[in-house]
Amino acid sequence: MRGHRAAGGVVASAYGVGVTLTAPAHHATAAAVVPAVALEAHDDGYRLTPLADDGAADGTAERVPAAALPERVAGLEAAGVRWVWDTAAVYPALLAAGVRVERAHDVRLARAILRGTTVPLPAYANLPRDGWDEPSADPADGLFALDRAAADVSAADEHRRQQQVVAASPRPGALRLLLRAESAGALAAAEMSAAGLPWRADEHERILAGLLGPRVPSGQRPEALEVLVAHIREALGAPRLNPDSPVELVRALRAAGLTVETTRSSELRRLEHPVIEPLLSYKKLSRLHTANGWHWLDTWVADGRFRPDYVVGGVATGRWATRGGGALQLPKQVRGAVVADPGWRLVVADAAQLEPRVLAGLARDRSMAEAGRGRDLYDGIVATGAVADRSAAKYGMLGALYGATQGAGGRLVPRLAARFPQALGLVEQAARAGERGAVVGTLLGRGSGSPSDAWRAAQAAASDLDASDAVVRRARSLSREHGRFTRNFVVQGTAAEWALCWLADLRRRLWALGAGRLAERPHLVYFLHDEVLVHTPEHLVDEAAEAVREAAAAAGRLLFGDFPVDFPLDVAVVERYSDAT
DNA sequence: CCCAAAGGCCAC
DNA sequence: AAACGTGGCCTTTGGG
C-alpha cells in the first residue's frame, strides 16, 4: 500500500483515506466571535436560549409565541447572532415571514456527521440515539420532528456537547469547517426553496404542445404518443401491444425476430428494424409526458416558481437529495421554461471537471493539478501524452472514479495510473479499504459508514472452509461493489464539500450586493451538485457573476490551502436556463 | 385497496 | 459507446 503524502503527514487508515494526521493549518478556522442563541419548539411556541462562549446556557431562556417569532428573530439577527437549531424545521417559517439569517449551526445535521465521521470522537462513540438522530422534519409533519428532539435533549445541550467533542478531537479545524459548511448549506437550501426557481408555465406548455400535441386529460395518451404507438404496433405486428410494459415489449420484439435481452434504449439503438426509430421516440416522449408533463406542471409549479424541497446531506456522500418534483433530474428538454423575471437575469455557473480536480487536491497530485491549470483538465491530460484525445481522457478519468473494469473506460485507467500515480493511487487505496469493509473519509472527515450486517455475514460465510463457490463468488462481488462505492465516495464526498463551501460563500456575497428582502437582491435559486443558478436584477449581473467566481476560488483555498489546484467555472448570463450551454 | 420490487430513464 | 459511482420517480407487475 502506497502512503498518501500530504502537507500534514501520511494517511492512517483509522482516519480514512486522503485525510492527514495533522490538520493542515488552513483548516484551523477561528471561531466567529458572535453570540449564539439556541432556538427550538417548546410547548405551543418557541424557546430561545442565549449561549455563553463555552456553549452553556446562561439561564435566561425566553419563551416566544409562534406569531411573535419572526420579529424576535429579526431583532436578534440585526445585532449579529449564530442560531443553533434544526434549520429544516424552523427556518422555512421565518423565511415565509421575510426573515433571513446570516449564520446557523444545524444541530441535527452536525449530529449525523459526527456520528459517522472518520475522525475519532471517543466521547460521541457510545452516545445513545435520541431525537437528534431522527430524519429532518417533513414539511407535511409540521414541527413534529423538532418536538421529538426537544423532548430528549435540548438544542443548547447537544450543541455544547458537539462543540466539546470537536474541540477535543484530533482534527477540530476540519470538523468545524465541515459543520459550518453543512449548516450554511441548510440555510441556502431553505432560502432556495422559499425563493423558488423562476418557471414559466406558459413556456412549459408550449414545449409540451410542440413535442406531444395538445394537452390531454391525465391518464390519456397525447396525440404524438398515440401516433407512435400505432407505428410500433404495426411494425411489430402486435395490434394490442402496450409499449409501457417491458414484459410485453420484449416478447413482441423477439416475436419479430429481434434478439434482445432488455428493452433499454441503449440496447435497442444497436438494432436495425423499422420499429426502432418510433420506439425510441416513444420512450423519450413518454418519459417527458409522465415525468415532467402537464401533471408535473400542475403539481409543482405555482405563482411562476418551482420550489424543490432539498434534503441537505440526504446522500451518503454529502450530496443533497430532494423530496418530490425530481428537482435534481430536470431534463434538458424543459429547461426552456426556466426564465428570469422581466428585468432580471440568470447567472448559470458550473464547476468544470470538478471531481478530477478535487481528486488532484485530495491526493495532492501536482501533475494532475498542473494538467488542469488554466485549461480544460481533459485537454491537459491529453497534452501529457497519457491518452490520445479528450474523450479518452474523460472516460478514462470517469472510469477511474467509478471503478470501471471493462469497456473503453476500464482499458484507459492503467494509462492514467501510470501518468498520475498519486491521484489514481488514492482512489485505488479507497477501493481496497472498502473491499475489506473499512470506513473511508472525505477531506474534511465525513465517513462512508460501515457495510451492513448482511454484507459482513456474506464475507464471514465465504471465509468458511466449506463455503460453496456460489457463496464465495457472492461475497467477492459484494466486496468489490463496496470497494467501488468507497472509491467514489472519497471523491464525490470531497467534491460535495467543495460545493458546500462555494454555496456558503456565495450566499453571503450575493446578499451583500443588494438591498431589501432576499427576493429583491441577487439570490440563489437552484443547486445541482456542481452547478448553481443565481437570479439577479439585470444591473447587478456582472457583480453576481464575479461573486460566483470569487466564491469558487475561495472554496478551493478553504479546502486545499495553497496547493495549486484550480476550480474554473463555466459561467453564462442568460434569460433562459436552456440558453446556458 | 395498499405496498414493494423490477425495469427503465433522467440528472450529476 | 458502455453498464462503472450517487440519487428520484415513473409504470408495470405481483403479492397480501
User: Exposed, middle or buried by CB within 10 Å (0-12, 13-18, 19+), for A116?
Assistant: middle
Whether A87 has a pLDDT exceeding 50, the answer reads: yes
A548 Cβ contact list (under 8 Å, min separation 6): A347, A349, A506, A532, A534, A569, A571
DSSP sequence for A282-344: HHHHHHHHHHHSHHHHHHHEETTEE---EETT-STTS--EESSTTGGG--GGGGGG-BPPTTE
pTM of the model: 0.93
Chain B: nucleotides below 7 Å from protein CB are 7-12
Q: Which residue in A194, A22, A163, A14 sits closest to A96, CA to CA?
A: A194
Secondary structure (3-state) at A40: strand
CA A185 to C1' C15, in angstroms, rounded, equals 42
| pLDDT, tens only, A313-341 | 999 999 999 888 899 999 998 999 999 99
**Ramachandran region, residue A310 (left: φ > 0; alpha: ψ -120 to 50; beta: rest):** beta
The counts of H helices and E strands in chain A are: 22, 14
Is residue A581's beta carbon less than 7 angstroms from any atom in nucleic acid strand B?
no
For range A251-273, the mean pLDDT: 93
Chain C: nucleotides below 7 Å from protein CB are 1-14
Distance (Å, whole) CA A199 – CA A213: 21
Whether A16 has a pLDDT exceeding 60, the answer reads: no
Distance (Å, whole) CA A496 – CA A271: 39
H or E stretch covering A41:
strand A36-42
Which nucleotide C1' is nearest A354 CA? B12
User: Tell me, what amino acid is at A183?
Assistant: S
CA A247 to C1' C13, in angstroms, rounded, equals 9
Q: Other C-beta atoms within 10 Å of A486: how many?
A: 29
Whole-number pLDDT of residue A206: 95
CA A60 to C1' C7, in angstroms, rounded, equals 44
Which A residues between 344 and 403 have a beta carbon under 7 A from any strand B atom? 350
Can you list the domains of chain A with their CATH numbers? 35-195 (3.30.420), 201-299 (no CATH), 354-494 (1.10.150.20)
What would the grid cell of residue A200 be? 414559466
Distance (Å, whole) CA A179 – CA A172: 10
Q: Other C-beta atoms within 10 Å of A170: how many?
A: 16
CA A13 to C1' C4, in angstroms, rounded, equals 25
Distance (Å, whole) CA A384 – CA A382: 5
Q: Residue A407's pLDDT band (boundaries 50, 70, 90)?
A: confident
Distance (Å, whole) CA A76 – CA A427: 46
Which nucleotide C1' is nearest A288 CA? B10
Which nucleotide C1' is nearest A291 CA? C10
Q: Residue A53's pLDDT band (boundaries 50, 70, 90)?
A: confident
Mean pLDDT of chain A: 90
